[in-house]
């Protein structure tokens, strides 16, 4: 049985159809990312699965249960991280975790979880005194303290600093290791690519693509450029001659070569750098291709 | 700890942590009690000589008004606005236990208020002969009426709007409640309106229940009971959780 099953879902707010036709499934233990521009219907889809919204058409099941009709049976088994924190501004991290732990039959140890999200030093601060990233991490911890079988994370890395982002990533990776099914929304491509077993791209209330990151990339156009970092001010004209393609500066110390990243082109680049005794920082080929897929799918007819 | 006990603990903790709450539920009633008991500027109802005998039951009614209505309204409106209620909605806590914890927290605050204000009033020379049953029944009905009013306000309005509306209504009910200023001092039309409000009804019952052999008007009981039913029902029908 799939952990989450959505078929033909439509949700309306009065006359506005927020979700028109969404179908996808999340297998047990799988991490699936709903990816799409703002207003695509990601949050509405997740809220239908959490039991907040009644489908106007179609059917949603979580662990085989109807999120509205079987809410009492389902709630102890899911964890929800809403987009807006939903935490009392005066409460302190450990108080909030202990409170949420009390709702569930077999919760995680609140103090240990607080340490895992790196907030032990903030134990005396209230929610309103935490930074955006700290709030996100606490909010995630609150979604996980009940040991859910299915976790819904709505934009867990929105507005969060790099450190917080890494903490969130490692927690989500830990969920996968524990066999928890995760449905996460984001509009951040890199986040989706790093985190997801599978990506479902949603646009204007419909699914426009569904597959592993590799499958989605294979369906996209082949890369026609690659980029690398090297010392500022290298001789681009000479390098361009060696590569047989123009070299442009993307930003200080970062260059882009306008040719496909073939083994021959990459070999020519490294040979030229070796000849001039220049270090190569990093080399990125096709790094932005998921963005190409995404833009083609979501903006094709705009 | 059970979910109910944990929720109750947090509700009380958050209440105690808000300075403005303490000012409203204890500071203002205490100030009115001490000031008007000591400074002889107040008109008194017929048959009462010592201001504290009139004021003590009045500020107890005011305490119920402040906790039941103002605190409930403001706390709930901001919890709704911050998405706290929405988030709780998908946990196993459930509405019945959340409401039970919130009601118990209100009653607990009222117990503290009654204790503090009673001790202060006794120190100021209050010499009541209490009809405990009537007083307790009136406080419970008053809490239901004012709590219902608070939820009615908070159920639809934003936090800031609720803050203003609840404080405004608090002042109106204080002035028209016979708590600090006797109803007899009001002009006839205003007095007729005031007598139909839950504040005056509660104050009237508490005053009668603390002066030896006093009996509240039947009308006060009917008015208070009607509000105690109508306000929560109206709140339940109109309340929006998010």
Q: Which residue of A has its CA nearest to B95?
A: A72
Q: What is the pLDDT of residue A69?
A: 95
Mutate to test the interface with B, among A99, A127, A147 (most CBs of B within 10 A): A99
Nearest Cα of chain B lies from the Cα of A88 at a distance, in angstroms, of 6
pLDDT at residue B215 tops 90:
no
Tell me which residues of chain A have a pLDDT lower than 70: 219-222, 286-290, 292, 299-302
For the purposes of burial, counting CB atoms within 10 Å of the CB of B139, is it exposed (0-12), middle (13-18) or buried (19 or more)?
Answer: buried
Backbone angles phi, psi at A168, to 5 degrees: -65, -45
Q: What is the pLDDT of residue B213?
A: 67
Cα–Cα dist A30/A36, whole Å = 19
Q: Which residue of A has its CA nearest to B83?
A: A86
Asked if B96 reaches chain A (Cβ–Cβ under 8 Å), the answer is no
Q: Are B143 and B71 in contact (CB under 8 A)?
A: no
Residue A7: which residues within 8 A CB-CB, separation 6 or more? A23, A58, A59, A60
Asked if B18 reaches chain A (Cβ–Cβ under 8 Å), the answer is yes
Alpha helix positions (H), A16-161: 42-50, 71-74, 93-103, 110-116, 132-144
- Picking from B1, B14, B91, the nearest residue to A75 by CB comes out as B91
Q: What is the pLDDT of residue A299?
A: 67
User: Where along chain B do its domains lie?
Assistant: 3-238
Cα–Cα dist B164/A72, whole Å = 37
Q: What is the pLDDT of residue B71?
A: 93
Cα–Cα dist B106/B147, whole Å = 9
- Picking from B1, B78, B84, the nearest residue to A86 by CB comes out as B84
pLDDT at residue B6 tops 60:
yes
Q: What is the pLDDT of residues B47-95, one digit of tens each?
A: 788 889 999 999 999 999 999 999 999 999 999 999 999 999 999 998 8
Which residues 44-63 of A are in CB contact (within 8 Å) with B? Answer: 50-52
Cβ contacts of A99 on chain B, cutoff 8 Å: 6-7, 10
Asked if A80 reaches chain B (Cβ–Cβ under 8 Å), the answer is yes
Cβ contacts of A104 on chain B, cutoff 8 Å: 91-92
Q: What is the pLDDT of residues B190-208, one digit of tens each?
A: 999 999 999 999 999 999 9
Q: What is the pLDDT of residue A285?
A: 72
For tokens 């000479």, name the residue.
Answer: A238
Across the interface, whether the CB atoms of A84 and B83 are under 8 A apart is answered yes
Cα–Cα dist B42/B51, whole Å = 8
State how beta strands A247-251 and A254-257 pair: antiparallel
Cα–Cα dist B178/B204, whole Å = 7
Cα–Cα dist B153/B167, whole Å = 11
Cα–Cα dist A47/A59, whole Å = 13
Tokens describing residue A131: 């930074």
For tokens 């002969």, name the residue.
Answer: B129
Sheet holding A283-285, edge to edge: A247-251, A254-257, A226-229, A283-285
- Picking from A78, A86, A89, the nearest residue to B87 by CB comes out as A86
Q: What is the pLDDT of residue A302?
A: 46
Mutate to test the interface with B, among A86, A128, A130 (most CBs of B within 10 A): A86
Arithmetic mean of pLDDT, B153-163: 89
For tokens 């979910």, name the residue.
Answer: B3
For tokens 């110390």, name the residue.
Answer: A253
Tokens describing residue A160: 């969060």
Cα–Cα dist A76/A292, whole Å = 40
Tokens describing residue A168: 């969130």
Residue A169: which residues within 8 A CB-CB, separation 6 or more? A157, A194, A195
Rounded to the nearest integer, the mean pLDDT of chain B is 91
Helices (H) and strands (E) in chain A, counts: 11, 13
Across the interface, whether the CB atoms of A87 and B84 are under 8 A apart is answered yes
Cα–Cα dist A94/A126, whole Å = 10
Q: Where are the beta strands (DSSP E) in A180-221?
A: 181-186, 198-203, 206-211
Q: What is the pLDDT of residue A224?
A: 79
- Picking from B3, B13, B90, the nearest residue to A51 by CB comes out as B90
Across the interface, whether the CB atoms of A99 and B6 are under 8 A apart is answered yes
Q: What is the pLDDT of residue A286?
A: 59
3-state secondary structure of A34: strand
């Amino acid at each position: 049985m799939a952990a989450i099953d959505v078929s033909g879902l439509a949700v309306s707010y009065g006359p506005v159809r927020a979700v028109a036709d969404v179908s996808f499934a999340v297998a047990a233990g799988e991490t699936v990312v709903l990816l799409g521009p703002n207003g695509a219907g990601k949050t509405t889809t997740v809220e239908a699965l959490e039991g907040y919204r009644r489908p106007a058409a179609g059917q949603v099941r979580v662990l085989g249960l109807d999120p509205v009709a079987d809410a009492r049976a389902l709630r102890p088994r899911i964890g929800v991280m809403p987009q807006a924190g939903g935490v009392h501004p005066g409460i302190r991290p450990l108080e909030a975790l202990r409170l949420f732990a009390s709702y569930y039959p077999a919760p995680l140890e609140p103090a240990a979880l607080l340490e895992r999200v790196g907030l032990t030093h903030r134990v005396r601060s209230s929610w309103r005194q935490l930074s955006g990233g700290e709030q996100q991490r606490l909010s995630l911890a609150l979604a996980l303290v009940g040991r859910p079988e299915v976790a819904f994370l709505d934009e867990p890395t929105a507005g969060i600093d790099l450190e917080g982002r890494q903490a969130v990533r490692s927690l989500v990776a830990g969920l996968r290791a524990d066999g928890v099914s995760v449905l996460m929304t984001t509009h951040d491509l890199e986040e989706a690519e790093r985190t997801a077993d599978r990506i479902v791209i949603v646009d204007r209330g419909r699914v426009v693509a569904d597959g592993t990151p590799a499958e989605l990339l294979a369906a996209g156009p082949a890369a026609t450029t690659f980029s690398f970092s090297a010392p500022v001010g290298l001789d681009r004209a000479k390098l361009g001659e060696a590569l047989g393609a123009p070299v442009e500066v993307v930003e200080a110390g970062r260059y882009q070569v306008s040719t496909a990243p073939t083994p021959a082109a990459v070999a020519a680049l490294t040979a030229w750098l070796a000849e001039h005794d220049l270090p190569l920082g990093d080399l990125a080929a096709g790094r932005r291709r998921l963005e190409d897929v995404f833009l083609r799918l979501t903006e094709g007819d705009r | 700890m059970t979910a109910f006990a944990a929720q109750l603990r947090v509700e009380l903790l958050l209440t105690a942590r808000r300075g403005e709450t303490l000012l409203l539920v204890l500071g203002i009633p205490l100030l009115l009690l001490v000031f008007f008991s000591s400074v002889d500027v107040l008109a008194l109802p017929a048959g009462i000589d010592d201001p504290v005998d009139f004021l003590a039951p009045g500020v107890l009614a005011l305490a119920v008004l402040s906790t039941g209505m103002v605190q409930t309204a403001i706390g709930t409106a901001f919890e709704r606005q911050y998405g706290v209620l929405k988030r709780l909605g998908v946990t196993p806590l459930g509405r019945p236990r959340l409401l039970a914890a919130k009601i118990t927290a209100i009653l607990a605050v009222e117990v503290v208020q009654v204790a503090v204000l009673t001790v202060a009033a006794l120190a100021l020379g209050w010499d009541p002969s209490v009809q405990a049953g009537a007083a307790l029944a009136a406080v419970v009905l008053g809490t239901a009426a004012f709590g219902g009013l608070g939820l009615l306000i908070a159920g639809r309005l934003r936090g800031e709007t609720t803050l203003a509306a609840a404080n405004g209504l608090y002042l109106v009910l204080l002035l028209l409640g016979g708590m600090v200023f006797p109803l007899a001092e009001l002009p006839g039309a205003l007095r007729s309106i005031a007598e139909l409000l839950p504040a005056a009804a509660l104050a009237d019952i508490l005053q009668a229940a603390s002066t030896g052999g006093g009996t509240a008007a039947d009308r006060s009981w009917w008015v208070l009971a009607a509000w105690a039913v109508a306000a929560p029902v109206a709140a339940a029908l109109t309340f929006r959780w998010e």
